[in-house]
């Protein structure tokens, strides 16, 4: 019986809440909409999560947790720099192809409610980024990789991996209007390859 916990009411609600909050944000989401999506009664939402904010917090924390886990590999000092970058690319692209709305959700809510960053995001990072950038700059100074602006490089890297999912609604329509088929012309494997090409072109083979 224990394995049925996955489809418990609480789980169903969380799944529905994730979907609705991601789409509409904290203020745009409607409790009724979440209840309908979960296929349960509205009052049950309050039974399990007390109120809207608390439910949102659960969803948001889960999202952050999952999202930043994809970047843990940057901190794996047992791997060479470029391997860490390549693994990050694989991780984040796989992850976003499953949750394409995740990035926008996190960024939107943080920009509306900046205090959330300090509260919830900061603890997940713990200087892993600074250490990676240091390592990158070290390899640049020893000439092991080409001279680049480390910050700009990291921004570009994230951009190449992330925006294709954010912009997908536009790309899809644009390509279809142009006689191309998004599903055919875009694939996660192509995207990974393309990002890795960028890394090699920028940092050297």
Partner DNA sequence: GTCTATATAGGGATAGAC
Partner DNA sequence: GTCTATCCCTATATAGAC
Q: Indicate the residue among 9 and 37 with the shorter CB distance to a second copy.
A: 37
Binds a second copy by CB under 8 A, chosen from 75, 117, 124, 139: 117
Binds DNA by CB under 7 A, chosen from 11, 50, 122, 129: 50
Q: Tokens 């393309």 appear where?
A: 194
What whole-number distance in Å separates Cα of residue 89 and Cα of residue 103?
A: 15
What whole-number distance in Å separates Cα of residue 146 and Cα of residue 182?
A: 34
Q: Indicate the residue among 8 and 122 with the shorter CB distance to DNA.
A: 8
Position 24 contacts a second copy (CB under 8 A): yes
- Size, binding site for a second copy by CB under 8 A: 56
Residue 42, CA distances (Å) to 25, 33, 51, 59, 65 in order: 18, 9, 11, 17, 27
* 67 CB-near residues (< 8 Å, 6+ apart): 95, 102, 103, 106
Position 204 contacts a second copy (CB under 8 A): no
Sign of the CA dihedral running 119, 105, 159, 67: positive
Position 99 contacts a second copy (CB under 8 A): no
Query: Minimal distance in Å, beta carbon 24 to DNA?
Result: 9
Cβ proximity of 102 and 63 under 8 Å: yes
Sign of the CA dihedral running 30, 34, 40, 45: negative
Binds DNA by CB under 7 A, chosen from 40, 79, 121, 154: 40
Residues lying near a second copy in the complex (CB under 8 A) are found at: 23-28, 30, 101, 103-104, 106-108, 110-112, 114, 117, 121-122, 125, 127, 129-130, 133, 149, 151-152, 155-156, 158-160, 162-164, 166-167, 169-171, 173-175, 177-180, 185-186, 190-191, 194, 198, 201-202
């Amino acid at each position: 019986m224990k394995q049925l916990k996955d489809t418990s009411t609480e789980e169903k609600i969380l799944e529905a809440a994730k979907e609705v909050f991601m789409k509409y944000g904290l203020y745009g989401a409607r409790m009724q909409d979440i209840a309908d999506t979960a296929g349960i009664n509205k009052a049950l939402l309050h039974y399990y999560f007390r109120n809207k904010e608390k439910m949102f917090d659960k969803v948001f924390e889960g999202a952050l947790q999952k999202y930043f886990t994809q970047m843990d590999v940057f901190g794996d000092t047992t791997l060479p720099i470029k391997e860490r970058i390549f693994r990050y690319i694989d991780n984040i692209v796989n992850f976003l192809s499953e949750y394409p709305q995740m990035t926008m959700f996190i960024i939107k809510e943080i920009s509306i409610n900046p205090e959330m960053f300090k509260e919830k995001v900061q603890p997940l990072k713990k200087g892993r980024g600074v250490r990676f950038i240091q390592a990158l700059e070290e390899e640049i100074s020893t000439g092991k990789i080409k001279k680049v602006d480390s910050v700009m490089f990291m921004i570009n890297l994230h951009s190449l991996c992330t925006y294709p999912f954010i912009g997908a609604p536009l790309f899809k329509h644009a390509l279809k209007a142009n006689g191309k088929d998004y599903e055919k012309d875009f694939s996660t494997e192509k995207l990974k390859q393309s990002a890795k090409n960028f890394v090699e072109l920028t940092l050297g083979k």
